[in-house]
Structure 1
Amino acid sequence: MATVVRMPAVLAGSTEAALQSWLVEEGAQVSVGHPIADIETEKAVVEYAAEAEGTVAGFLVPVGENVAVGTPILVLADPGESVEAAVLAAADLTGEADAAGPSTATDAASPEQSGAPEPSEAPEPSEPRAPAEPAPDPLPTGPSPDDHGGRRFASPIVRRLARERGLDLGLLRGTGPGGRIVRRDLDALREDPAPEVPAPSAASAAPAGVAPAPAVPVDAGATATSTDFVDVPATGMRRAIARRLTESVTTIPQFQLVADIRVDALLELRGRIAEQTGAKVSVNDFVVKAVGAALRDVPDANAIWLDGTIRRFERADIGIAVAVEGGLVTPVVRGVDRMPVGALAEAGRALAERARAGGLRQDDLEGGSFAVSNLGMFGTREFTAIINPPHSGILAVGAAAPRAVVVDGALAIATVMTVTLTADHRVVDGALAAQWMAAFTEHVEHPLGLLL
C-alpha cells in the first residue's frame, strides 16, 4: 500500500514550512534515511530524510509552496504499485476523498458546509440540468478528466479555505498532480462581488420632524483605491519573529539592568592579538566570551524556566543575534566558557556566514540559556533587547565611544560601552542579575583573564 509522506515538524515551534527543493525524482527508489527534500522553515533550511522506503509515485506540493506541518507532500508506492493506484490510496489514507456524496468528495459539497441554499426539490436523474451562469473564474470548471469516480482531491488547508470563502470545490478543476486542487487554484478564483445595497436617503432615514444632517464632503485621497501605501505580505521569518517575540513580552516577566563599562584595556588587548598573531577577533567576540565567563562565575544565572521547573546548565551555550535579509536569527555557539577566544571568533563567523546564506541547520538554532545582540556597529549607543524564548536573558550591546568619566576623583576620557541586560524574573532575581552584571563588567574591564 502507498505511503504518505507529510510535512514534518522539523523545527521546534514551526507551524508551517516550505519545500525549497526536491532531492529525488519521480520513479526514484528511496530507502529509510535517504535525503528526499530540503525544507525551509522560518529560520533555517533542513535536509529531510525518508522515514519509509518505496518508489516516488508523485509530489503533492510544488517547490516553493508553504504548507502546514502534517500536510501530505509526497507519495511512495510499494514495488509493483502503479502511480495512479498509489495516488488514490494516498488520498484514501489522508481522508481527502470524502465519501459524503455519491458524486463529489469535498467538504463544500453539502449546503450546510458551503453556505449555498438547499434546493427545494432535487431534479430527477434523467432531467438535464439548466446551464449555470458563466462564472468570472478564468480556471476551467466542471468535471476534470483526472477525476477518479467523481472524487475531488484537496489538501486540508484548501478545504478549510474553501469553507471560509463559501466556494464549491466541486466546480473547480485542480491543477495539481492527478487533478488535485491546490491553494493557487483557490487564489486564482475571483469571488462574485456582493450586490450593492442602496443606502436609505437622508430624508427617509431621519425621524419625522428632524432635518437631515448636511452632507459632509469626502476626501478623495481617503478612498480604498489610494496609492499612498503598499501592503507587503509578511514572510515566514517575519511571522515567526512576530509570534515568538509577542509570546515573549506577554508571557515572560522581564526586567532590565544597565551598566557603563570601560573597554580601553579590551581594545588594547584586541589590537595586540591582531598585531602579534594576525587573528581576527572582534569586540563582540570578547563580549560573548565575557558573557560565558560570567555565567561560569554565577552558575545560578545559567538556567531557563521550563514548565514550572528551573533547568540549570553545566556549560554556557550562547545565542548570537545575526541580521539576515528579511529578519533576524540567533544561532547558538556551544561551550563558550571553555572555548579559546580565537576558536570562538571562528565559530561565530561560520554561523553568521551560514545564516546569511540561508544554510543554518535545525540544531544551530536550538538550546542555550542566554543571547547577545550587538548594534554597536550601527552607532547605536543604548537599546533594550527582547528575550528569545526559552532563554532567560539577553544582553544588548551598544557602541563604544569616548566619554567623560571620573577616575580617582578627577575627570578623564575613557572609551565606554553601555550594555543592557534583559532577564526573566522567573529564573533570575534582581540581586542575581546584578551579581552577574558585576562579573561580566569585571571580565570586560580586565580582559586578560578571558585568554586563560
Structure 2
Amino acid sequence: MPIAIKMPALSPTMEEGTLAKWLVKVGDQVSAGDIMAEIETDKATMEFEAVDEGTIAHIQVEEGTEGVAVGTVIATLAEEGEDVANVEPAGGAATPAPAPAPSEAKEEAAPAAAPAPAPAAAPAASGDRIIASPLAKRIAEQKGIDLSTVKGSGPNGRIVKADVDGAQPGTAAPAPAAAAAPAPAAAPAEAQDFGIPHDVEKLSGMRKTIARRLTESKQQVPHIYLTVDIRLDALLKLRSELNAALEPQGVKLSVNDMLIKALAKSLEQVPACNVQFAGDSMLQFKRADISVAVSIPNGLITPIVKDAGAKAMSKISTEMKDLATRAKDGKLAPEEYQGGTASLSNMGMFGIKQFEAVINPPQGMIMAIGAGEKRPYVVEDSLQIASVMSATGSFDHRAIDGADGAQLMKVFKELIEAPLGLVA
C-alpha cells in the first residue's frame, strides 16, 4: 500500500514551511533514517529523514515551493513489492510548484473559473486552523471577510487571492456576546512606492515570524524599562587574567560570555524575575536558560545557553561559539533556539550606547547591553575616568513588579563590578 509522505512539523510552532531542496528523486530507494529533503522553517533549514522503507513513486511538491502547510502530502512512497509505475499519488494528483511572485502585492494564479462565494457553513479548511495565503489574509482583513466562510480553491483547500476577491465584504463573524471583544488592531499602512525607484524583496519565513511575534509583544505585553550604568574595569581585568590561564585550552572568553553568566546568576538570586506570565498563573523557573540574540543573514535568532548559572564561563564560551556558528549556517535544532527563561541582546559591538529591547514572548524579560566606553565616573567620591556600559532590562509588568526588576538590575550591576562572584 502506498505511503503518504507529509510535510512534517519540525518545531512546536511550525504551521508551514518551504521545501527548499529534494535530496531524492522518483525511483530512488530509501530506508528509515535516510535524509530525503531540506525544509526551511521560520528559524532554520533542517533535514527531513525518512521513517519508512520503499521507493519514491511520486514527488508532489517541487523543491522551492513556499508556504507548504504542515500535513500536506509532499511525496508518495511505494512499499517493497509494489510496482512504482502503477502507484497512484497519495492524497491526489501531484501539485506543481507555484510560480514565485516578485512581491506579495502581485496577483496569485487564479483558477480557470472564478469561484462563487461559499456558503457561510462551509469552512475553508478542516479543523480550527484556516489555511490561507498572506495576501488573501490581508485582503480579507481589509474587506472585513471572515475566512472561515470562504472555500479555498488552492492546494489542500488553501484560500488564495481569487477566493477572497469573490467573497462578499462585511461577513466577519461577530464576537460572542458573553465575552468582551478586544479593540481591533489598526491595519498596517499599505506600502506605496510614490514613483521612487526601488527593489522588492520578498519576506523570508523568519522575517515574517519576527514581524508577527514582536508586534504581538509590543501590543500585548506591558513593558517596563529599567537602566543602570555599570563600571566594567574589574570585569575586563578578570577577563584578561582568565584568558591568559585558558589560552592553553584554546578558550578565549568574550565580555558577552561573562554577561550571560552574570544574567543567569542574577536570575537565580532574584527568582521573581525568572518567570513567565501564563494567564491566571505564573511559571516560576528553577534554572536560568539564557537566550542570546544572534544576527544572521535572514534576521535574528536566539540560541539558548541552558542552565547558564551552573556552567563555567569557559563552557559558556565554547557553547556560544558553536551555537552562533550553526545559527548562521541555519543548522540549529529546534530545542536549541526554542525556550529560554530570559534573553540577552548585546549591541555594544556596534557602538550603541543604550537601547530598549523588545521582550521575546512568552519570556518575562530581556537584558539590553550597550557599548562599554570611557566616561567620567565617580569612584570613591572623586571624579575619574572609567570604562562604563549602560544595561537596560525590559520586563513584562504583568509578571514582574518594578521593585523586583530593580532588584535584578542591582544584582546584575554588583556581579559585574565585583566579578569574582562569577567564578565562585
- Shorter-chain TM-score tier: 0.7 to 0.9
State how 1:4-83 maps to structure 2 within 5 Å.
Answer: 4-66=4-66, 67-83=68-84
Q: Which residue identity lines up with residue 77 of structure 2 in the other structure?
A: L
Q: Any residues of structure 2 matched to 1:222-371 within 5 Å, and which?
A: 226-278=195-247, 279-371=251-343
CA distance in 1, matches of 2:32, 2:92: 22
Is the contact made by 1:20 and 1:39 (CA closer than 8 Å) also made in structure 2? yes
Cα displacement string for residues 349-387 of structure 1 (whole angstroms, at most 9, x for unaligned residues): 111111112211111111111010000001000001001
Cα displacement (A) at 1:318: 0.5
Give the % identical residues: 40
Q: Is the 8 A contact 1:280 1:345 kept in 2?
A: yes
Q: Structure 1 residue 42: deviation in Å?
A: 1.7
> Residue type of the partner of 1:20?
A
SS in 1 for 2:88: helix
Secondary structure at 1:448 match in 2: helix
Separation in 2 of the partners of 1:17 and 1:424?
31
Structure 1 letter corresponding to 2:222 = P
Q: Is the 8 A contact 2:27 2:84 kept in 1?
A: no
Q: 1:112 to 1:252 in 2, by over 3 A?
A: same
Partner Cα separation in structure 2 for residue 93 and residue 58 of structure 1: 8
| Alpha carbons of structure 1 residues 438 and 89: separation in structure 2 relative to 1, 3 Å | closer
Deviations 1:301-355 (CA, angstroms, capped at 9, x unpaired): 2222235332222221101100111211111111100110111011111111111
Report the equivalent of 1:391: 363
Deviations 1:250-272 (A, max 9, x none): 12121111000111000111111
Alignment pair present for 1:91 and 2:92:
yes
Q: Distance in 2 between the 1:62 and 1:93 partners?
A: 9
Question: Taking structure 1 as reference, are residues 159 and 395 closer, same or farther at Cα in structure 2, changes over 3 Å only?
Answer: closer
- What SS class does the counterpart of residue 431 from structure 1 fall into? helix
2:379 is matched with which residue?
407
Q: What is the match of residue 149 of structure 2? A: none
- Matched residue SS, 1:91: coil
Q: Residue type of the partner of 2:421?
A: G
Deviation readout 1:206-253 (Å, 9 max, x if unpaired): xxxxxxxxxxxxxxxxx9893433332212211111011111111212
Shift of 1:165: 6.5
In the other structure, the counterpart of 1:443 is 415
Task: Give the stretch that moved more between structures: 283-292 or 407-416.
Answer: 407-416
Matched residue, 1:155: 155
Q: CA deviation at 1:75?
A: 1.1
Separation in structure 2 between the aligned mates of residue 443 and residue 308 of structure 1, nearest angstrom: 34
Q: Contact 1:16/1:68 (CA < 8 Å) preserved in 2? A: yes
Counterpart residue number, 2:388: 416
Query: Would the alpha carbon gap of residues 235 and 111 (structure 1) be closer, same or farther in structure 2, given more than 3 Å must change?
Result: closer
Match of 2:200, SS state, is: coil
The one-letter amino acid of 2:412's match is F
CA distance in 2, matches of 1:112, 1:375: 53
- SS state of the match for residue 418, structure 1? strand
The two structures, once aligned, show a CA RMSD in angstroms of 2.8
Letter aligned with residue 74 of structure 1: A
1:87 is paired with a residue of what secondary structure? coil
Matched residues in 2 for 1:395 and 1:89: separation? 49
Counterpart-to-counterpart distance in 1, 2:10 and 2:292 = 21
Q: How many residues align?
A: 347
Distance 1:159 1:416 in 2: 55
Q: CA 1:36–1:42 in 2, change beyond 3 Å: closer, same or farther? A: same
Instruction: Give 1:81's aligned amino acid.
Output: E
Mapped to 2, the partners of 1:351 and 1:413 lie a distance apart of: 36
Q: CA deviation at 1:390?
A: 1.7
**Which amino acid in structure 2 is aligned with residue 8 of structure 1?**
P
Q: Distance in 2 between matches of 1:390 and 1:84?
A: 50
Equivalent residue, structure 1, for 2:397 = 425
CA distance in 2, matches of 1:89, 1:59: 10
TM-score w.r.t. length of structure 1: 0.70
Q: What is the SS of the residue equivalent to 2:217?
A: helix
Task: Report the CA distance shift for 1:257/1:154 in structure 2 as closer, same or farther (over 3 A).
Answer: closer
Work out whether residues 3 and 90 of structure 1, in 8 Å CA contact, stay in contact via their aligned partners in 2: no
Unaligned runs of at least 5 residues, structure 1: 95-105, 115-152, 167-222
1:117 aligns with none
Q: For the residues of structure 1 that align with 2:16 and 2:6, how far apart are their CA atoms?
A: 12
Deviation at 1:412, TM superposition (A): 1.5
* Partner SS state of residue 399, structure 1: coil
CA distance in 2, matches of 1:154, 1:315: 46
Deviation track 1:99-143 (CA, whole Å, cap 9, x = no partner) reads xxxxxxx986686269xxxxxxxxxxxxxxxxxxxxxxxxxxxxx
Report the equivalent of 2:116.
Answer: 112
